[in-house]
Amino acid sequence: MNAPTQATDTVADTTSIEALRERYRVERDKRLRGDGNDQYIEVDGEFSHYIDDPYVKPGFSRDPVKRQVDVVLIGGGFGGLQAGARLREAGVEDIVIVEKGGDFGGTWYWNRYPGAQCDVESYVYLPLLEELNYVPTQKYAQAPEILAHSRAIAKHYRLYDDALLQTEVTKMQWDESTCRWQVTTDRGDVLAARFIAMANGPLNRPKLPGIPGIESFRGHSFHTSRWDYDYTGGDADGGLDKLRDKRVAIIGTGATAVQCVPHLAATAQQLFVFQRTPSGIDVRDNCATDPQWAAGLEPGWQRARMENFNALVSGVPQAEDMVNDGWTDIVGKTLRMLHEGANDASGRSLAETLELANAEKMNEIRARCNQLIADPETADKLKPWYAMFCKRPCFHDEYLQSFNNANVTLIDTDGEGVTRINEHSIVAAGQEYEVDCIIYATGFEVGTSYERRAGYEMIGSAGRSLTDKWSEGINSLHGMAVNEFPNCFIMSQMQGGFTVNYPHMLDELAVHIAHIVSHAQQHGIERVEATTEAEQGWTQTIVDKGMNGAVLGGETCTPGYYNNEGQPNPLAAQAAPYGEGPIAFFELLRQWREAGDFSGLKLESTDAGQH
Ligand code: NDP
């Protein structure tokens, strides 16, 4: 189907907004497919080598650990690190972090592909900067610096002590007789944990596309989250010298591909970029940290900056935009238009203003393609036709220009995706391309069951698993505590306070968990459980407040992991973040702590007395 071509450059009047909506609809409809999330292959069985850890020496072994412990944290990424830090600050000493990787860092441990860097400003994104007396070297820090900071947090808070690295939890079962979780691992460990907190991360399990013939490929292949530098040469800064005589394919054009394509383009003999849906690429404008500015930072600076950013991306006007980047720009535009609307006779509603600001931003992003790409046909194919926030916004100053290189070919599949993979070639858009290597930049599982993504089963006090308990929708108090799963805390955005700056949310959860655990320790409380009523009440609040569909990638959006691959999910409303936004959610948690009555939690001590 040919999409209408008018309404590309201006949205000044209603006619063009309507044409734009129609174009968005046409592009979305091309991409809707019956199999939704099932189009992806679970990285298991014959594909399990795609998730082997390339960063550790093979053959690691150690004696199993069998003991009681106060707190087991699952995951050594930002969530586990922040929970560990806040627990230590609250006086909790006996902590074991269980981490699959060979070190701390989580997503920054795994994602070492060339060009990886944070997309949210590092001064607000990197956790605990003031606590560690550290200021990142760039506005958007590169991955190795973020990994080093993760290690520094672990050292600072003594989280390496007792940590079980290269270890995967296999099962967790609640033992009512001891009021402890029995945590077992793939290294034979058995930990009897008073409390557990799950910081598995939202995007921790890589996925592969279910392209026919994928198993038949005989060349080299890997997933971006396990970059094979032995094959490509080079390091996180690029210099992928071993690709000079290789025909390389990359499948996927999300945030990961956007960062690594320029490095592949710099050295590969040939690079084929297989695109199903283009990303929107805004300006990056990275810069080195000004040492004078860093030296003049006053105590409390990071919290103030995080809150300023969080307010702006939540649409709350601020006297100053401290971060001033592509994330906050759209909010600025919206507020300016709202102000103009209030002062003219347009009579625009809030929804119309938001749509107009969004369209203006996306027009700027589409215009960048024309400005930066020499071939107009290629420029057109790289234009995203959906509203901002339907997909993850991307920021880069070299990605689009990569397509000007003679060795780089964009294979746009017009929403279809790759047709087939053969022993030595890829078929797409009616053509066959011979390649030596395929790099899968196809992202991570979202929308599969929590336990599948976590990689272990957990059985609660009623003898059923969390997946069973949640089979008809998520239920929790504040997204963290679940009835039937005492002494367990979940760190995620589900039924919580999602913000663009994910580590900000993790910190608020970490403070909250540390508050409950330290209170329990100080008062001899052995069992903490969300009541059924509290869980039902909070779930109802989540449904009633209904998170804004546009932010979550609503049904008018092109498919992707933000909107369950375009398939209506009857359980989605229950899993949504708190509809009044992260600021209100964080405030609600703060007030809950201050009230001191632990409302909604049942607290029981050794003598079964209640607190
Ligand atoms: P994504 O899920 O965003 O992208 C996967 C890509 O694979 C999409 O372009 C998708 O196309 C494409 N794809 C899937 N199946 C096929 C197929 N059969 N044929 C062709 N193409 C296919 O994964 P990423 O790893 O890029 O990013 C995941 C998330 O990780 C980001 O959204 C972001 O939250 C985070 N991230 C953060 C970074 C940062 O902060 N610096 C950097 C990188 C990632 P389609 O769009 O059509 O589905």
Nearest CA, atom 24, ligand 1: 443
What pLDDT, in 10s, does the model give residues 348-384?
A: 787 788 888 889 999 999 999 999 999 999 999 999 9
Nearest CA, atom 41, ligand 1: 118
Helix boundaries (H) for 195-290: 229-232, 255-267
3-state helix, strand, coil in the chain (%, to 5): 40, 20, 45
Atom in ligand 1 nearest the alpha carbon of residue 560: 48
Nearest CA, atom 4, ligand 1: 254
How far does residue 369's CA lie from ligand 1's centre (Å)? 19
Q: Output the pLDDT for position 349.
A: 80
Q: Output the pLDDT for position 563.
A: 83
Q: Output the pLDDT for position 250.
A: 98
**Inter-residue long-range contacts of 236-242, CB under 8 Å, 24+ positions, other chains counted:** 236/112, 236/113, 236/114, 236/115, 236/116, 236/142, 236/143, 236/144, 237/114, 237/142, 238/114, 238/115, 238/262, 238/263, 238/266, 238/267, 239/267, 240/114, 240/264, 240/266, 240/267, 240/268, 241/267
Backbone angles phi, psi at 95, to 5 degrees: -125, 135
Structure tokens at 171: 């099962």
Nearest CA, atom 37, ligand 1: 255
Q: Output the pLDDT for position 607.
A: 60
Which residues of the chain, if any, have pLDDT below 50?
1-12, 548-553
Structure tokens at 103: 């070190």
Q: Are 96 and 163 in contact (CB under 8 A)?
A: yes
Question: What is the identity of the amino acid at 190?
Answer: V
> How many C-beta atoms surround the C-beta of residue 492 within 10 A?
23
Q: Output the pLDDT for position 610.
A: 52
What are the pocket residues of ligand 1 if the criterion is a CB atom closer than 6 Å to any ligand atom?
Answer: 31, 117-119, 203, 209, 211, 251-257, 259, 274, 276-277, 392, 417-418, 441-444, 560-561
Quote the DSSP letter at residue 4.
Answer: P
Atom in ligand 1 nearest the alpha carbon of residue 565: 48
How far does residue 384's CA lie from ligand 1's centre (Å)? 14
Nearest CA, atom 43, ligand 1: 256
Q: Output the pLDDT for position 7.
A: 39
Q: Output the pLDDT for position 569.
A: 77
Backbone angles phi, psi at 164, to 5 degrees: -110, 95
- Name the pTM for this structure: 0.94
Domains in the chain (CATH in brackets) are: 66-205+446-544+580-605 (3.50.50.60), 211-282+299-443 (3.50.50.60)
What pLDDT, in 10s, does the model give residues 435-492?
A: 999 999 999 988 777 777 888 999 999 999 999 999 989 999 999 999 999 999 999 9
How far does residue 294's CA lie from ligand 1's centre (Å)? 34
